[in-house]
Amino acid sequence: MTNIVRAAREHSDANPGSNESTVWNVTFLDGETRSGTVKNIGSDHYVIEGTKSAPIFFAADKVLRMWFPK
């Protein structure tokens, strides 16, 4: 399975102006969508920070879609 999170972050990093403060929308397999900065914490596990709630920890295989907010 392709790591959607890694692929999206690599695409973002390849474009000028991208950095760790890029805000993403992330939709999980259960249909829940969250927004915030996505940071790699190792072994295909990530955390969404900067949301109005507590940080959200997740594995890459739980992500359905990632995109930039408009």
CA pair distance 29, 61, nearest whole angstrom: 9
What is the residue range of 34's domain? Answer: 4-67
For position 16, what pLDDT does the model report? 54
Residues 5-44: pLDDT tens digits?
877 777 666 665 555 678 889 999 999 999 998 888 988 8
Residues 53-68: pLDDT tens digits?
899 999 999 999 998 8
The CATH number for 8's domain is 2.30.30.100
Task: Give whole-number Cα distances, 24 to 12, 53, in Å.
Answer: 10, 15
CB atoms within 10 A of CB 32: 11
CB atoms within 10 A of CB 10: 11
Domains of the chain: total:
1
CA pair distance 31, 36, nearest whole angstrom: 17
What is the pTM assigned to this prediction? Answer: 0.75
